[in-house]
Structures are given as structure tokens and as C-alpha cells.
Amino acid sequence: MQYRFFAGKGGVGKTSCAAATALREAERGADVLLVSTDPAHSLGDALGRALGPEARGVPVRGRGRLRALEMDADAALDRWIAAREPRLREIASRGTYLSREEIDRFFRLSLPGVDELVGLVELERLRRELEPERVIVDTAPTGHALRLLDTPALLAQLARVLDDMQEKHRQVASALAVGRYREDAEDALIAEIEGEARDARERLRDPERAAVRWVALPEALSVEETRDGLDALASMGVRVDEIVVNRVTPMPRARCARCEARIASERDAIGALLDRASAPVRLVPRLEGEPRGIDGLRALGEALGRDDHGRGLIATKTRATRPAPRARPAHPIGFVTDASLRLALFGGKGGVGKTSCAAAAAIAIAEQHPDRRVLLLSTDPAHSLGDALELRLDDEPRPVPGVEGRLDAREIDATAELARRKEEHARGVDAVFDALRGGSRLDPVLDRAIVHDLVDLAPPGIDELFSIVAILDALDDAYDLVIVDTAPWGHTERLLALPATVREWVKALLAVLLEYRGVIGLGGLAEDLVALSRSLGRVVETWRDPARTAFVPVTRAAALPRAETERLLGSLASRGMRVPSVIVVADDDRDGAPRCGPCARALADEADERRALRTGDAKMVRAPLLAVPPRGVRGLRAWAREWEVAR
């Protein structure tokens, strides 16, 4: 097995499981390379040591070897382009009407989605240069991990664009050489990229060389996302060799209302997963204490390697039913975010509860301000907002039943919107070239193919642009407040940087169109680009206006989420974004229910983590960590009534 990818919904423990597996295999004698491709790296936090883009040794017992690194995708892309830049430039100059200066401008642009674009290529480079026996990969959360695994299709598409450009040169050279054409270095580059795409596809589809280990939690939302992820991997032909259900609650040794409630809920979720599982299922118990550092990861690794796959965890019987929610009166939720704002973005590390927090806050605000029209919007490519609301959602806003106010909800389908825009522009390209038949200076067949390919070739992450456009449109569509459930932090940070990045793309594309103006005219594409540039400028202004926009980080009272939250707060401060509060989802003892020893110790540990979290000027809001996660309008409403300002 050359590659094993750990994938799944954010916050399920992918990083810990990947690190624990790598440590276990190294201590059994293997030479292992452990790599994080998540732009919001937490692998170093899990191992308890500083990591960077260069492989560093991790001490292990026995004769095995473990090296670890956190991938720097921008540096990896720069390295890949630098090795091929002269040939890429030559192909671009042969196949387009761009000047050398304009080609240079494109090479200086940042690429949205660079971590997904270059991830597989960089992994293969590392494997060849470092020669480990196996590579274990900690991926980004679901939607972005699936894009990473779809890299072969993007490489093949790039090779096709370059080949169409090179074909113009081949035809001219053949005409000048009376039908004879000799392949050159540029043809070799195209063949190289085609080979990389083919090899990557074959490697991922070979069950002897690559497999995915899917990590989930014994919770309804995680099970739903697991089903969707497994279906997507099956359509790619990628094998899932095991489904790891992490943090399964073991039967307590003493009376514990929280453990018993969790077990009852988890039994339902695990049963639903087993009914649909297309791979072996392993149950891993909730460990006492966070599996952090070598000793903590070693204990998790032992659980991941048990021969019984943890099946004894579902053989237990519960002694209690789920606790009934406590009835509490509604209270103003202004301590979370000012309801007079136009835009509130909820974000954080995957799995901390940001979707539930965004939904609960939206319900509370809509009911406390019935005069305001509120939209609850999900920009996470792996949506779970509909599951949290127990409502079927799609790309059209729809009212949320049961809310005593005006609340709509929507899950943005950015991929579908990108496909629609591509099709729209492709029709525009055909219309232009159809009008040029006859006296044009262009070769209609080749130039048409090249422009079509360029329209179709979009780096991963560009579809998130349409999430931004959708937010802006919602603000223009008479919504008084838009509450956004964002993707996990690494990709939300990319979303926040995207307007500036895309504006540079737009300026470069407009410059190209101006060069082509005398040949094909500007057409509707130029008008779209000008309108987009103006919209992106408005987005940046809106995000940086504290009277209109706020960002509400959501975190858990544990070491890894706390470390990432503090990095998140630093990034938001550097972008000039207002942070009125930080929601910490944590256990509390207000219910007075009996607790077992591990739950009592976990409560004390969480209190320590809350005290250690540095939130600056932002208020800390404590949302209780329920034994059974809240779902539906009634459950989310009741949960929001439990929130309180901690300090």
C-alpha cells in the first residue's frame, strides 16, 4: 500500500487517526511518511511538535521510521511550475495572441484551490524523493478531500488545453516543412502531464497501491455525510478499505446520565451506518483525555488495530433514556452577534458545531426580530445544514417551518453554478466564432477549441467564488441579515482571500480581451467580468465594515481546536474583520445529572481549556455540549436558550 488517505467530515478525528496509524505502523517496523494536505494544518498540534513543509523525524520505538510534514501547497505549485515554466510560456505564446508581458502576468497570479490542485502531484514527488514504504495522508474535510482525489481529471484537462495550443504550432511547422513535423520539448511536456494524469488515476484506482480510510462519528450528521462521501469515492473508482467510527461511548462503570444518553443515540447512528456500509466498519472507543502527543496517539493506535474491530462497543445495553430538554424562556441573543448587522459568518475548525451554532442563532434572531427577513446560508461544499434543521434544502431559498419569524435557508450548489456559467460562456464563444466564419484572421477550428478549453479549465476552489456572489445577491434581495455556515476554517480563509485573488484574475482576463478586441470583439464575457470585478470590490468593503459584518468563531474546549481558534483570530484581525464573540461548545454541570469518573474529569479538563483560550476583545459565549446533538427547529431553539456569556 503506497498511499492511505484519511478522509471524512471535519472534526471527526482524521488527523489523530492518521497520526496514530502512522505511529503504530512505524513502531511495527515500517518506514512511514505522514503528510497533512489540509490548509488549516493541525498535524503538528496532534503530534505535539512543530512541523513545516520539510519532512521531520518523529521518535518511535523499535526499528521503524516515522517522518511527518505539513504541505505548503503554494511552494509546491511554484516548484512544479518553475521546472516547466519555459515550455509552458512557449506553448502559451504559440497558441494564443498574448504578448510575453501578458503571459508573465498570468504566471504571477495566485490560484484558488492550490492545495487541491497540486496535492497529489506533490505527494508523488515526496514519495519518489524520500522513498518511504508508505505514505499516510491527513486530508482536508470531505468536500475538499474529494477534489484532491479528483486531481487526475484536472491534470488531463490541462494537458488537453496545452495540446490544442500546441496544435496550432504543429500545423504551421508542418506547412513550412512540407508536411514533416518533429516533436519538440513542448510536446514532451504535454506528454509528461498526460502521463502524470494517467499514472495518478491508475494509482488511485489500484486497491493494492491506494485506499481511503473514512473516519466518522456515531452521530446522525456524520453518518449522512459518510454516505455521500462513500458514494462519491465509488464513482471515482477509489477503494475505501475501512470505515472508522471514532469516539464511540463505552458503557460507564458507574451511573452516568451523559454516557447513557450518548449510547442510546449512538446505537441508532451506528445501526444506520452498518445497514449501508460498503466497507468493513471499525468502532473506536472514546478515550479518556485528548489523544495528543506520542503517548496519547499510541493509545489511539492500539484501538485502531484491535482484531475485533471494536464490535463489543455495540453489545452493551443502556440503562436510561435520553434526558428531556430543559424548558427555558427565550432571551436576547445579541451577545453572540448584533442583529442589526447585514452579514454574520460562523466558522471554525471542522466538527466543532458551527453548523448547529449558525442554525440556532438564525432561529433565535428571526424569532426575536420578526420584522427582519433572515437568510441562513451554507457555503460548505459538504453541506450538513439541511440535516441539522431536519429539512431538505437545495440551491433555492426556502422557508424554515416552525420558526416564528421570517427565516429562509439555502445550501449553495457552487459546482452547479460554475457548470452553468461555463455552459453560458461556451455558447457565447460559439456565437462569436460563428459570426467570424469567412474573413477572419483566426483559424476558427483551433482557436474555437482553445477558447472553449480555457473557459472549461478552472482550478479547484474557483467555484467558491459563486458562494461570495450568492452572499452578495442575498444582501441585495431584500434580506436584512444573512447568516453564513462556512466551510472548515482552512477553506473559509481561502474564501475570505478569494475576492482579492479573483479581482487580479479578472483584470488579467480583461487585458486579454482588450488584446483580442480587434479580432473577435469583447462580447458578453467582458461585461460579465466588469460586473464581477465591481461585485468583488463591494464584497471586500462589506466584509471590512464592522457596522455591517461580523465573524463568529466556533470552537470546542479542547487543545487542538483551541490552538486553531487562536490562529483563526489572528488571521481575522489581520484582515480587519470584526469578531464580537467566540462560541465555545463545552460541557457544563448545570443539569446536576450524575457523572462517571471519566466524564467528571473531562468536565474539569474543558474548564481548563476555556480558561486558557485567548479571545482578545471578543466575548466568550458558552454553548452546552449536549449528550445528544441538537437537531430540528425545536431542538436548536431549546439549545440556543442555554447559551450564556462566560466572560
Q: 22-36, 73-87, 317-331, 590-604: which range is least confident on average?
A: 317-331
pLDDT score at 318:
47
Q: Is residue 444 part of a domain?
A: no
Q: Are residues 347 and 205 in the same domain?
A: no
Do 161 and 454 form a contact (C-beta atoms < 8 A)?
yes
Do 120 and 202 form a contact (C-beta atoms < 8 A)?
no
In this structure, the number of other CB atoms found within 10 A of the CB of residue 109 comes to 13
Mean predicted confidence (pLDDT) in 79-90: 89
Mean predicted confidence (pLDDT) in 69-94: 88
Q: Is residue 69 part of a domain?
A: yes
Domains: count for the chain:
2
Q: How far apart are CA 441 and CA 443, in angstroms?
A: 7
pLDDT score at 65:
96
Q: 11-25, 119-133, 342-356, 397-411: which range is least confident on average?
A: 342-356
Mean predicted confidence (pLDDT) in 12-20: 93
Q: How far apart are CA 284 and CA 305, in angstroms?
A: 9
Q: Are residues 100 and 234 in the same domain?
A: yes
In this structure, the number of other CB atoms found within 10 A of the CB of residue 386 comes to 19
Residues in the chain: 647
Mean predicted confidence (pLDDT) in 368-383: 88
pLDDT score at 113:
62
Q: Is residue 242 part of a domain?
A: yes
- Beta-sheet pairing, 56-57 with 240-248: unpaired
Q: Are residues 219 and 363 in the same domain?
A: no
Q: Percentage of residues in the chain with pLDDT exceeding 90?
A: 34
Do 281 and 274 form a contact (C-beta atoms < 8 A)?
yes
Q: 148-162, 377-391, 521-535, 582-596: which range is least confident on average?
A: 521-535
Q: Is residue 434 part of a domain?
A: no
- Its domain, for residue 197, covers 3-314
Q: Are residues 244 and 177 in the same domain?
A: yes
Nearest-CA neighbor of 355 among 214, 164, 486? 486
Q: Is residue 319 part of a domain?
A: no
* CA 583 vs CA 342, 368, 405, 611: distances in Å: 20, 20, 24, 13
pLDDT at 528 over 80: no
- Which domain-ending residue is among 260, 294, 314? 314
pLDDT score at 15:
93
Q: How far apart are CA 451 and CA 470, in angstroms?
A: 27
Q: Is residue 198 part of a domain?
A: yes
- Which domain-ending residue is among 265, 297, 314? 314
Q: 190-194, 261-265, 343-347, 435-439: which range is least confident on average?
A: 435-439
Q: Are residues 183 and 306 in the same domain?
A: yes
Q: Are residues 357 and 270 in the same domain?
A: no
| 540-591 tens-digit pLDDT | 788 888 888 999 999 998 888 888 889 889 989 988 889 999 999 988 777 6
DSSP label at 630?
Answer: -
Do 34 and 19 form a contact (C-beta atoms < 8 A)?
yes
Instruction: Say which CATH number the domain at 568 has.
Output: 3.40.50.300
pLDDT at 469 over 90: no
What is the rounded average pLDDT for all residues in the chain?
83
- Which domain-ending residue is among 264, 294, 314? 314
Do 256 and 595 form a contact (C-beta atoms < 8 A)?
yes
| 274-309 tens-digit pLDDT | 888 889 999 999 988 788 899 999 999 998 988 888
Enumerate the β-bridge partners of residue 57.
67
Nearest-CA neighbor of 542 among 604, 473, 602, 494? 473
Q: Are residues 309 and 349 in the same domain?
A: no
Nearest-CA neighbor of 529 among 506, 558, 505? 506
Nearest-CA neighbor of 64 among 32, 30, 33, 34? 30
Scored b (16 or more CB within 10 A) or e, 258-270 reads bbbbbbbbbbebb
| 337-348 tens-digit pLDDT | 777 888 999 998
Q: Are residues 384 and 502 in the same domain?
A: yes
Q: Are residues 14 and 95 in the same domain?
A: yes
Q: Work out the pLDDT band at 321, boundaries 50, 70, 90.
A: very low
Q: Are residues 197 and 292 in the same domain?
A: yes
Q: Work out the pLDDT band at 92, boundaries 50, 70, 90.
A: confident
Nearest-CA neighbor of 74 among 103, 116, 104? 116
Q: Which residues in 73-160 belong to E strands, given as ranges?
A: 134-138
Residue 95: left if φ>0, alpha if ψ -120 to 50, beta else—which one? alpha
Radius of gyration of the chain from Cα atoms? 26
Q: Is residue 438 part of a domain?
A: no
Phi first, then psi: give them for residue 217, nearest 5 degrees: -110, 155
| 424-435 tens-digit pLDDT | 666 666 666 666
Mean predicted confidence (pLDDT) in 516-541: 64
**pTM given for the model:** 0.81
Q: Are residues 274 and 182 in the same domain?
A: yes
Q: Is residue 44 part of a domain?
A: yes
* 190/542: higher pLDDT: 190
DSSP label at 463?
Answer: G
Q: Are residues 307 and 360 in the same domain?
A: no
Q: How far apart are CA 240 and CA 7, in angstroms?
A: 10
